[in-house]
């Protein structure tokens, strides 16, 4: 089997202060983790809070701490350090070869789409917002071919709301799956492009899409990473 992943991201239009942070790390006993974070301090977007939280989380995961415990520790530390004035929305998607599972850890209500055989479902968040902020939910799925997970930041999901034509994740997933199954790169790029167009080409917030898929065939244990970062 093989894990395929793609990330597509764009910053808020005409802003130097990024909100969304994405990091990828190899797990100490095999596999990988992708972290999507957005920080706030005193109700305003904060690059510092996001970076601090992500770096602490990366350290704990690299030390072998389970995702749920690591995320809970990071959230608690930031809460205490900033006297409750800092917020950090975290979504962690891990392929954990030790347990043979895909682990999703999140402390926010942003939907995570699960696509299997062209059928779309969503992870359900049942905790209230106050409890969820410091006590993330953890979901586990056996690693098996045919699973695709789609993470979107709130910048994607809120695209187009001011123009009266909000971004619809369901419709966009249905549209791109109408013919052949898209690659993870095609899917991530398509969703980002559609969200940008809903904001008339000027994203009102940072936009991030993460797609991860399990496929049946592997390519001779070769690992590949493709990175494209524009320089203005």
Name residue, tokens 């190899």: 26
Q: What pLDDT shows up at residue 150? A: 95
Quote the tokens at residue 52: 């601090």
pLDDT grade for 18, boundaries at 50, 70 and 90: low
Stretch (H or E) spanning 105: strand 101-106
pLDDT of residue 130 exceeding 70 = no
pLDDT in tens, 163-177: 878 899 999 999 998
Report CA-CA distances (Å) from 216 to 3, 25, 88. Answer: 9, 23, 35
Question: Radius of gyration over alpha carbons of the chain, in Å?
Answer: 17
Q: Could you tell me the domains of the chain? A: 2-215 (3.60.40.10)
Q: For 40-52, write each residue's pLDDT tens digit.
A: 888 788 888 899 9
Model confidence over 193-208: pLDDT tens digits?
999 999 998 998 889 9
CA dist 232 and 226 (Å) reads: 20
- Please, what is the average pLDDT of the chain? 88
| pLDDT of 127 higher than 60 | no
Q: Is 72 left (phi over 0), alpha (psi -120 to 50) or beta?
A: alpha
Strand partners, 31: 96
Q: How many CB atoms lie within 10 A of CB 149?
A: 22
DSSP secondary structure string, 129-156? HHHHHHS-EEEEEE--TTEEEEEE-HHH
195 three-class SS: helix
Q: Per-residue pLDDT for 230 more than 90?
A: no
Which of 72, 53, 73, 2 has the alpha carbon at shortest distance from 32?
2
Output the CA–CA distances (angstroms, integers) from residue 165 to 8, 49, 201, 205, 217, in the order listed. 22, 32, 14, 16, 40
Q: How far is CA 186 from CA 107, 193, 211, in A?
A: 28, 10, 10
Q: What is the pTM of this model?
A: 0.89
The alpha helices in 63-122, defined as continuous H runs, are: 67-81
């Amino acid at each position: 089997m093989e894990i395929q992943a793609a990330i597509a991201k764009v910053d808020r239009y005409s802003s130097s202060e990024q909100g969304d942070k994405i990091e990828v790390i190899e797990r100490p006993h095999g596999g990988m983790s992708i972290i999507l974070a957005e920080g706030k301090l005193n109700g305003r977007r904060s690059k510092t809070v996001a970076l601090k939280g992500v770096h602490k989380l990366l350290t704990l995961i690299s030390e072998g701490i389970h995702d749920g415990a690591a995320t809970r520790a990071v959230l608690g530390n930031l809460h205490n350090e900033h006297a409750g004035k800092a917020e950090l929305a975290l979504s962690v998607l891990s392929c954990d070869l030790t347990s043979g599972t895909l682990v999703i850890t999140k402390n926010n209500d942003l939907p995570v789409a699960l696509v299997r055989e062209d059928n779309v479902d969503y992870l359900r968040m049942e905790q209230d917002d106050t409890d969820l902020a410091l006590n993330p939910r953890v979901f586990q799925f056996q690693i098996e071919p045919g699973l695709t997970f789609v993470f979107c930041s709130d910048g994607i999901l809120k695209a187009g709301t001011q123009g009266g034509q909000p971004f619809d994740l369901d419709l966009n997933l249905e549209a791109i799956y109408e013919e052949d199954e898209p690659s993870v790169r095609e899917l991530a790029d398509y969703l980002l492009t559609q969200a940008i167009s809903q904001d008339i080409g000027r994203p009102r917030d940072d936009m991030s899409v993460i797609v991860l898929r399990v496929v049946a065939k592997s390519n001779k244990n070769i690992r590949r990473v493709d990175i494209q970062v524009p320089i203005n």
